[in-house]
Amino acid sequence: MAALAPIVLQFSKYQGLGNDFLMLDGRGASSTDASYGLTPERIQRLCDRRFGVGADGVILALPPRQGGELRMRIFNADGTEPEMCGNGMRCLARFLADSDGDLPGRQWQIETLAGRIVPELLQDGSIRVDMGAPFLDPESIPTTLACGENGLAQGNLEVAGSSFAVGAAGMGNPHVVIPVDDVEAVDLERYGAAFEVHPAFPARTNVHFVQVISPTHLVMRVWERGAGPTLACGTGACATLVVAHLLGLAERCARLDLPGGPLEIDWDQASGHVFMAGPAVAVFDGVVTPELWGDEPFELEAPAPVQKQPDASPAVDCASVCTNGCIRPEACPSAEARARVDALLNGSSLDDLVALATNSLESRIRSRFDRDTSQGS
């Protein structure tokens, strides 16, 4: 039977242009569907900026399913699971590089609900991501907007008492882009919330208002599906460039200024893929306290059985056959390992367990600092 204990969950917080995420490293998990007990309610508590850690979302790095190096699951601050997130992908790549000591030029094959994404660590420490080709077919976005002669799903929508000319594109998740004369004059709370749930977008949508400064310089504001106003959205910046180019407002390569800072977006004509380049920065490492996690205990994985002698009883898979209690309490093959776990838990205070996690975090931070120092010299 698995041991139960209050959870001491390690995390690292990263931000990309102010779009911030809590990173959980589950690459060693036994299941590609591991969720570490995360529920929508727990995610909401973790992401709460007054009563929790504070973040726009939570990202899990998990074992791969389909031949990639790892699998990414991302959860919005409201607990919903989107297909992908460009800023989150950059943060994940930076987190992997920091955790593993990777050098510039390193690429990762990362599985997402939107397909396989390939980020790359650049020499200056920023991350460039091959976001793949945009989805332009209305059914793939999805949207009920009709496709125009330029191959773009577009039309006029009535939202909150006003009419807007819009275009839509998908980057594994849906986006609506609204060109305006002045993004700062837009009532984002009013129109962003209304666009997100407009019937033209059956899966809801991310919302972006864009102002054209020049064909190679755009300014945008973001309303993210499931998160509301955020300082940046990587997939949104990609979709915005695609829509603006098809509308004749922008070149295929441009700088997009978001509230959190600029991204360089390039819609490569040869491959049809969209490339995004921008920063991702470590903020801090920490542990989640049992008080924040909630009353329900966290179930640890069953310890591995001890090695048998030749004359021992037949092997027992404790994790599968002892779910309702040990079937051989007089000769449990996991007794020794369980005793060690029990001794650790019973003989350690919460402060001791937090100290163990802190030592691990300090080691990671020191390694990151040493790497950055050596690169800067």
Q: Is the pLDDT of residue 300 over 50?
A: no
Going by DSSP bridges, is the β-strand pair 110-112/261-267 parallel, antiparallel, or unpaired? unpaired
Instruction: Point out the catalytic residue in the list 47, 91, 147, 233.
Output: 233
Residues 6+ apart with CB under 8 A from 193: 223, 228
* Pair (109, 22) in one structural domain: yes
To 10 degrees, what angle do helices 234-246 and 86-100 make? 140
pLDDT class for 15, splitting at 50, 70, 90?
very high
Q: pLDDT tens across 336-368, in order? A: 655 654 565 566 665 665 565 566 566 666 666
Tell how far CA 166 is from the center of its chain.
Answer: 27
CATH number of the domain that residue 219 is part of = 3.10.310.10
pTM of the model: 0.74
How many whole angstroms separate alpha carbon 115 and alpha carbon 60?
Answer: 16
* Highest-scoring range by mean pLDDT, 30-39, 202-211, 315-324: 202-211
* Pair (66, 110) in one structural domain: yes
pLDDT of residue 31: 79
pLDDT of residue 289: 81
pLDDT of residue 317: 47
pLDDT class for 29, splitting at 50, 70, 90?
confident
* Pair (158, 241) in one structural domain: yes
* Pair (225, 340) in one structural domain: no
* Pair (340, 232) in one structural domain: no
* Pair (105, 208) in one structural domain: no
Indicate whether 365 belongs to any domain.
Answer: no
* Pair (182, 69) in one structural domain: no
Split into its structural domains, the chain has a count of 3
More confident: 304 or 83: 83
How buried is 49 (Cβ within 10 angstroms: 0-12 exposed, 13-18 middle, 19+ buried)?
exposed
Domain of 312?
A: 305-346
**Active-site residue, 238 included:** no
Q: List, as one string, the DSSP characters of 248-299.
A: TSS-SEEEEEETTEEEEEEE-TTT--EEEEE--EEEEEEEE-HHHH-SSPEE
Q: pLDDT tens across 96-150, in order? A: 999 999 999 999 999 999 999 999 999 999 999 999 999 999 999 999 999 999 9
How many whole angstroms separate alpha carbon 156 and alpha carbon 178?
Answer: 10
**Mean pLDDT score, 217-229:** 95
DSSP 356: H
pLDDT of residue 345: 54
Q: Which residue has the tokens 């864009």?
A: 210
* Pair (233, 339) in one structural domain: no
Instruction: Point out the catalytic residue in the list 85, 238, 318, 332.
Output: 85
* Pair (150, 261) in one structural domain: yes
Residues 6+ apart with CB under 8 A from 323: 1
Closest CA to 376 of 124, 182, 115: 124
Q: Which residue has the tokens 């990671």?
A: 364
Indicate whether 295 belongs to any domain.
Answer: no
Helix (H) or strand (E) holding 8: none
To 10 degrees, what angle do helices 350-376 and 86-100 make? 90
Q: Is the pLDDT of residue 152 over 70?
A: yes
Indicate whether 371 belongs to any domain.
Answer: no
* Pair (156, 107) in one structural domain: no
Alpha helix (H) residue ranges in the chain: 40-47, 86-100, 188-196, 234-246, 290-293, 318-321, 335-346, 350-376
Indicate whether 151 belongs to any domain.
Answer: yes
Q: pLDDT tens across 177-201, in order? A: 999 999 999 999 999 999 999 999 9
How many whole angstroms separate alpha carbon 6 and alpha carbon 345?
Answer: 9
* Pair (122, 151) in one structural domain: no
**Active-site residue, 85 included:** yes
**Mean pLDDT score, 10-20:** 95
Alpha helix (H) residue ranges in 101-233: 188-196
* Pair (242, 314) in one structural domain: no
Across-strand partners of 146? 154
Buried b (16+ CB within 10 A) or exposed e, 209-244: bbbbeeeeebbbbbbbbbbbebbbbbbbbbbbbbbb
